[in-house]
Structure 1
Amino acid sequence: MSDTTIDRRKVSFLGLGTMGGAIARHIAEAGHELTIYNRSPERARKWSADNPGLAHRIAANPAHAAQDADVVITCVGNDDDLADVVLGPNGVFRMLKKGGVFIDHTTVSARIARQISVEARDLKVHCVDAPMTGSQIGAEKGTLTLMCGGRDDAIEAARPIMEGYSSRIVHVGKPGSGQIAKMANQICIAGNVAALAEAVRFAQASHLDMEKVYEAISGGAAQSWQMDNRLKTMDADEFDFGFAIDWMRKDLGLSLEEGRGLGVSLPVAALVDQFFADLQAMGGGRLDTSAIIKRLPKKGKK
């Protein structure tokens, strides 16, 4: 983006994990005035060391990060983490100015998203819950899909910043709607990756050439992101990357809880959640979700 088209803003980013760290880089590279914060200070220092050419400052706490900011973005772990950095004694909402923009990319419950939205409304702050999909690759390339909940004016206020690291921004509906859409997304992924694991083991047992299997089935109705990005690594028993099983279990827990509140049955999601629990018990909680195939023994023809 050229200098003449950049609307430079003071942007604070809180939560420098795999996804958040990549997004923060895009924000700095776009020319915005970046402030970073992480609850574990060593991660913020590491981000600084890994990005020596990007101008930024490190905040002492969330309130310090929000001071004078035009936009504050969070990408933390769970409901409690988000409540602490936003609503806590040293939280973002202690200092974020009237007319400021708050964007949350954490996958959390719709309940906390709605609560934060109410608090933001009272403070006259634009608020968007915007969980994301697209994986670590999407974060690094700036091609994430953001599913957003919030008022129309809040989405439009947040859009110029979010466009810097996403290829699709969808305004799903009112506050909390982005989180509900993300739950639907995770339900789909869970069923998809579990079915792909069975398909891979099935083809392996028949001693098929997996590259040919992929070529044959990836162009039809079975095609999916999981197939395109995980079939080959499943076949090679490679899982040390991607979206961790621990995080998927957290997300499915949110989905199952929301489903119970809605009176909706989610039997496949519940079953796959237990499969992931098995992997956690085997010590695989930090492996990519495609490691679900490790539950299924390899077998071949005699």
Structure 2
Amino acid sequence: DKHAFDCPVTGGEQGAIDGTLTLIVGAAEKDVEGVLPVLESFSSRRFYFDQPGGGQTAKLCNQVSLVSCMVGYADALALAQQSGIDPELMLEVLANGTGGSGASRTLAPKSLAGDYKPGFLVEHLRKDVALALRRSEDLDITLPGAETAFTLLDMLCQIGGSRMGTQALTLLYQEEETCKAAGLDWSLLDQGEDEGDGHECSCGHDHGDGHECCGGHHHDHGDGHECHCHHHE
């Protein structure tokens, strides 16, 4: 007469501190009545997916959407900064239009301020996106937004950003001096490439010689590895 269920959460470090996490439950509400007071003690909202693993799948859907939104605001910030317009004002435009997102509202200002302290670690988001990509392979579907985001997160981890907050994604768009000041080392990426042409990311995908990263500015690292971050020009 035992029952187990999956219950991933969202809401970040502050949500955990405040006890206001959102719970994503892989069970029917009636199945968790016995422990509901416990769940309520650290959450403000609970969503019930009536099948085992349903919570985990819904959590991965959240992470897939999140990383695509993060790449979107990182692209927008890079475009604004390189075009010479006020990036803070641009973020206000996003906040008042359909181009905005939870990521652009809460994380983009930190990126702009150079605040890379973790609320959620880069390596943990990379892990979640890797799980989503494995799931997409099982379902024989393609998630191009998630694949692009994974490539960027994986690169950030390789150059020393694994323990930074996820908003550090925007460092991939900055000059090398800015990255170095933040504690990143682009030479680590080059060392990884020298170890073999077939760069296999932790998502399990072997990108082979034509591993293409996305950031906005082209550079050929050699062996067909094309990156779009402009530090290596």
Distance 1:141 1:290 in 2: 21
Distance 1:167 1:151 in 2: 18
Distance 1:243 1:167 in 2: 19
- Deviation, 1:151, is 4.1
User: Does 2:24 correspond to 1:147?
Assistant: yes
2:117 partner SS: coil
Cα gap change, 1:262 to 1:162, in 2 (>3 Å): same
Larger Rg: 1
2:23 partner SS: strand
Q: 1:269 aligns with which of 138, 146, 151?
A: 146
| Structure 1 unpaired stretches of 5+ | 1-123
Report the TM-score, using the length of structure 1 for normalisation. Answer: 0.55
Q: 1:173 aligns with which of 50, 58, 61?
A: 50
Q: 1:297 matched to which residue of 2?
A: 174
| Structure 2 unpaired stretches of 5+ | 176-229
Q: 1:55 matched to which residue of 2?
A: none
What are the residue-to-residue correspondences of 1:61-80 with 2, within 5 Å?
none
Q: 1:247 aligns with which of 104, 116, 124?
A: 124
User: Does 2:50 correspond to 1:182?
Assistant: no
Cα gap change, 1:241 to 1:152, in 2 (>3 Å): closer
Runs of 4+ in 1 over 6 A off after TM superposition: none
Distance 1:159 1:170 in 2: 12
Distance 2:35 2:99 in 1: 36
User: Does 2:129 correspond to 1:258?
Assistant: no
Distance 1:271 1:211 in 2: 25
Report the TM-score, using the length of structure 2 for normalisation. Answer: 0.71
Distance 1:172 1:157 in 2: 17
**How many residues are matched?**
176
Is the strand fraction higher in 1 or 2? Answer: 1
1:233 partner SS: helix
Q: 2:198 matched to which residue of 1?
A: none
1:283 partner SS: helix
1:282 partner SS: helix
User: Does 2:17 correspond to 1:127?
Assistant: no
Distance 2:37 2:23 in 1: 13
